Amino acid sequence: MKRKEKNKLNKFFNKFSQAVTKGTGSPLAFIMAIIVIVVWGVTGPLFGFSNTWQLVINTGTTIITFLMVFVIQQSQNRETTAIQLKLNELIAANRNASNRLVDIEDLADDELAVLKKFYVKLSYLAETETDLFSTHSIDEARHLHTSKLKPVREEKLRPANEEKRIQE
């Protein structure tokens, strides 16, 4: 499929899914669904509660559910992306925020678990503070980590002949 055709199809499906999601999430759609169920229930005695009568509602609800999964998923994906972009903008714009959290949703599960442990610890530290306005941040953690590594880095940067002099 050509790029222009694919782009048109994507735009159409985006608009379609937004309209369907908005429409089906409305009170009117809910009332209509209730009416369909009531009408179906009332017609039960007319059709003798037959297998065909049951099959009508089962088939109808299955088809609608199947199609709605795709429409709702499209709408949800779009909204999630928009929220992630907004959060990324807030992180990038905040001088005190860690830019490592931009696109955090792309990290592996084990990497997310490590970050979660850090924030759980951060939460614990915040709870134990008596000062309501004190804070702990990733920047503080990075500063502490950097200060711990500084002697190790300086040692690695020493010239080889200085290393020999130290050993002698």
Query: pLDDT of 102-134, one tens digit each?
Result: 888 888 999 999 889 888 888 887 777 666 555
Alpha carbon distance 67, 69 (integer Å)? 5
Find the farthest-apart pair of alpha carbons in the chain and give their distance in angstroms, rounded: 104
Does residue 117 form part of some domain? no
Q: How many domains does the chain have?
A: 2
Query: Residues 88, 16: one domain?
Result: yes
What confidence score (pLDDT) does residue 162 get?
53
User: Where does a domain end: 100, 127, 146?
Assistant: 100
Alpha carbon distance 51, 59 (integer Å)? 12
Q: How is 28-54 classified by DSSP, letter by letter? A: HHHHHHHHHHHHHHHHTTTTTT-HHHH
What the block records as the tokens of 24 is: 């089906």
Count the neighbouring beta carbons within 10 Å of the beta carbon of residue 56. 14
Alpha carbon distance 131, 69 (integer Å)? 48
Residue from 138, 134, 146 nearest 98 by CA? 138
Q: Identify whether the C-beta of residue 118 lies closer than 8 Å to the C-beta of residue 138.
A: yes
Top mean-pLDDT range of 14-28, 32-46, 92-106, 143-157: 32-46
Does residue 121 form part of some domain? no
Query: Residues 90, 163: one domain?
Result: no
Greater model confidence, 166 or 60: 60
Q: Identify whether the C-beta of residue 74 lies closer than 8 Å to the C-beta of residue 13.
A: yes
> 98 pLDDT exceeds 70?
yes
Does residue 163 form part of some domain? yes
